[in-house]
Amino acid sequence: MKSLKGIGLLIISNILIYLTLSITVRVLVNMVLPAFGIDVRGAFSQELLVWSLVIGFGGAFISLLFSKQMARAMLDCTQITQPRTQAEQVIYGSVREIAERLHITMPEVWVYDSPDPNAFATGPSKNNAMVAVSTGLLANLREDEVKAVLAHEMGHVFNGDMFSTTVLAGLMNTFVHYISNFVYQTVAQPQGDREEGQSGSPILGFVVYLFLQVVLSVLAMLVVSWHSRRREYAADAFSAKVYGKESMIKALQAIDRWVNRAQFEYSTQDALATMKISGNTSGFLHLLATHPPIEERVAALERL
């Protein structure tokens, strides 16, 4: 019931966002801009807005629908169905225990080959998800710390983070597609040129289109990354409720020690660090990180 209510609210909110955008754009195009001598009414297209929604949300939800398959295809991973070792029993047993507590379908449990301590959860819904941990996580964390990380990932599953992130990404994709195409149509063939049967500036329009695609995509990534960092705190709090905050704190500190040691030994920055648990990036990359810095997450846990 809680998940249905959440999905319903997300759908309603996005319908309201669509209506608000549609009305706002119409008022802006038909009333506000003409008052300042700017006439782009012929460039506005309701069909473009609808098509942008289809493209934006369609791509995002297709990615969500096949997220488990894509994750397995990109990783050298093995599914655990019958635990054969103590480590596999810890992973499988923890996920099963938490799923039973939450009354949800147990996610698929996978282990993938990677030296860095990391874990993730994905899937189209909380009853159709997968949880995967790296061999590096098992090698560098103690049993209670591994269980805390698994509880964190199960928090993502239970909170519906994959779905909410997809909706936000779809909305951002819609903005990017609509604005870039709207400007392209305006530059490539302005209203006056269309009425006189003349051509606009298609080359300039295409250059502006590419520029806006890049700039707006980066801005969209900032919004999605900000949302991702917010949800990490909620998943940490969920783990603290399940196994206690000390276990999650120790797990984060163990991961932080590994990251610092690895960067010292290899004198390099992981190109994928912005997408991993460590989240220890600086400057502009911090705004693109999907995980907050570990010290901030530890501080948040200690305040619980």
pLDDT tens-digit profile of 13-25? 556 655 665 676 6
Same domain, 21 and 83: no
Residue bearing the bigger pLDDT, 34 or 298? 298
Last residue of a domain, one of 138, 159, 180: 159
User: In degrees, to the nearest 5, what angle opens at C-alpha 302 toward C-alphas 3 and 139?
Assistant: 80
Task: Please give the pLDDT value at position 200.
Answer: 58
Domain annotation covers residue 169 = no
Confidence bin at 49 (pLDDT 50/70/90): confident
Q: What amino acid occupies position 279?
A: G
Is residue 239 classed exposed, middle or buried when 0-12, 13-18 and 19+ CB atoms within 10 A define those classes? buried
Domain annotation covers residue 93 = yes
CATH number at residue 90: 3.30.2010.10
Domain annotation covers residue 286 = no
Instruction: Answer whether 158's CB lies under 8 Å from 239's CB.
Output: no
Same domain, 72 and 112: yes
pLDDT tens-digit profile of 106-136? 999 999 998 889 999 999 999 999 999 999 9
User: In degrees, to the nearest 5, what angle opens at C-alpha 265 toward C-alphas 262 and 270?
Assistant: 45
Domain annotation covers residue 233 = no
Same domain, 35 and 82: no
Task: Please give the pLDDT value at position 242.
Answer: 94
80: phi then psi, degrees, rounded to nearest 5: -100, 115
Rounded Cα distance, 178 and 56, in Å: 9
Same domain, 37 and 72: no
Confidence bin at 274 (pLDDT 50/70/90): very low
Domain annotation covers residue 207 = no
Question: What mean pLDDT is predicted for residues 172-182?
Answer: 87
Confidence bin at 63 (pLDDT 50/70/90): confident
Instruction: Answer whether 151's CB lies under 8 Å from 242's CB.
Output: yes
115: phi then psi, degrees, rounded to nearest 5: -75, -25
Residue 32 belongs to what domain range?
1-41
End-to-end CA distance of the chain: 28
Instruction: Answer whether 239's CB lies under 8 Å from 148's CB.
Output: yes
The total number of structural domains that make up the chain: 2
Full-model pTM = 0.76
The answer on pLDDT for 64 being more than 50 is yes
Q: What percent of the chain is modeled with pLDDT above 70? A: 75
Domain annotation covers residue 21 = yes
Same domain, 109 and 36: no
Contacts of 259 (CB under 8 A, 6+ apart): 116, 270, 273, 278, 280
Same domain, 76 and 26: no
Is residue 153 annotated as part of the catalytic site, yes or no? Answer: yes
Question: Which residue among 108, 145, 153, 232 is the active-site one?
Answer: 153
Pick from 222, 209, 207, 223: which is nearest to 178 by CA?
209
The answer on pLDDT for 273 being more than 70 is no
User: In degrees, to the nearest 5, what angle opens at C-alpha 270 toward C-alphas 243 and 141?
Assistant: 25
Instruction: Average the pLDDT over each of 28-42, 74-88, 130-144, 240-254 and give the range with the smallest value.
Output: 28-42
Instruction: Answer whether 300's CB lies under 8 Å from 245's CB.
Output: no
Residue bearing the bigger pLDDT, 77 or 24? 77
Question: What mean pLDDT is predicted for residues 220-231?
Answer: 90
Confidence bin at 75 (pLDDT 50/70/90): confident
Give the chain's mean pLDDT. 81
